[in-house]
C-alpha cells in the first residue's frame, strides 16, 4: 500500500510530464492527418498533370505531322480547296444560294 501511495504521489508531482506527452501525441496526430490530406491532394494533381501531359504529347505529334506534310503538293492543293474554296483550272465551281 505504501508503494502505491508513493507511485501516486510521483505521478501527481510530475503531472506536467504526462501533459507534455499528451500534447506531443495530439500534435503528432494532427500533423499526420494534415500530411495525409496533402498527399491525397498532390496525388490527384499528379494524375491530372499526367493526363494533360499525355494530351499535350498527342497534340504535339499531330501538329508535327501537319507541319511536315505542308511541303507535300497534295496537301497544299487540299488546303487551298478546303480553306480558300479554290478549284483547279479544269474543274467547275458551283455556288448555291439559300432560298
Q: What is the CB neighbour count within 10 angstroms for residue 81?
A: 13
Q: Got the DSSP string for 22-55?
A: HHHHHHHHHHHHHHHHHHHHHHHHHHHHHHHHHH
Matching residue, cell 496525388? 43
pLDDT in tens, 3-13: 777 777 777 77
Domain locations in the chain?
Answer: 14-83
pLDDT at 62 over 80: yes
- What global pTM score does this model have? 0.50
Q: 26 in helix, strand or coil?
A: helix
Amino acid at each position: 500500500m505504501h508503494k502505491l501511495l508513493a507511485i501516486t504521489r510521483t505521478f501527481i508531482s510530475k503531472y506536467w510530464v504526462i501533459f507534455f506527452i499528451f500534447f506531443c501525441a495530439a500534435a503528432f496526430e494532427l500533423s499526420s492527418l494534415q500530411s495525409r490530406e496533402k498527399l491525397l491532394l498532390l496525388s490527384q494533381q499528379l494524375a491530372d498533370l499526367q493526363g494533360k501531359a499525355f494530351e499535350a504529347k498527342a497534340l504535339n505529334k499531330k501538329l508535327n505531322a501537319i507541319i511536315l506534310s505542308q511541303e507535300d503538293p497534295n496537301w497544299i492543293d487540299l488546303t487551298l480547296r478546303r480553306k480558300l474554296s479554290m478549284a483547279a483550272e479544269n474543274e467547275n465551281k458551283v455556288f448555291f444560294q439559300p432560298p
